[in-house]
Amino acid sequence: MKVKVGDNVKILAGKDKGKEGKVIRTLKLENKVVVEGINIVKKHSKPTNTNDKGGIFDIEAPIHVSNVKVVENKKEAKKAEKKTETKEAKTAKSKTTKEKKEKVASAEKPAKKATKKASK
C-alpha cells in the first residue's frame, strides 16, 4: 500500500468525492484507510461500565485505498519522472512541483568476470 499515515489524500469516489484530508490510520489487511473528516457515519452505542451515557456518535469509517490519491502540496499528484544521471545516485522529479528527490546507491555491484569455455 502506497498510502501512509500523515499523507494528504484526495477522495476519488464515494459521497465525499473531491474532498481532501489527512490519513489517520491504515488497515493493511483490508486495504483501507481512515481519513480525517471523510466518510462520517453515525455509530449507535449502549451505556456500558466504561461509557455511562449511550447515544449516537459521529465517527470516521474506513474507505478503500483505491478510492484515494496522494496529493503533494495541495496540487494533484502525477506520475513521477524517473531519470538516472549516474550509477551512484538516482533522481526522481515530480511533474507538478519540479522537486528532485535523490536516492544514493548503498553499495556498488562488483564487476562480473568474463569466463569462456576452452574449446578442444
pTM of the predicted structure, to 2 decimals: 0.57
- Domain residue extents for the chain: 8-70, 75-105
**8 A C-beta contact, residue 79 and residue 68:** no
Helices (H) and strands (E) in the chain, counts: 0, 10
Rounded Cα–Cα distance for residues 100 and 84 (Å):
12
Q: What fold does the segment set 8-70 form as a domain?
A: SH3 type barrels. (2.30.30)
Instruction: Summarize the confidence of residues 11-35 as an average pLDDT.
Output: 93
Q: Using one digit for the tens of pLDDT, what is the confidence trace for 51-80?
A: 888 899 999 999 999 999 999 765 554 544
Single-letter amino acid, residue 33: V
Whole-angstrom distance, CA of residue 43 vs CA of residue 55: 8
Rounded CA separation 43/114 (Å) = 68
All 3 cell numbers of residue 1?
500500500
Mean model confidence pLDDT for the chain: 79
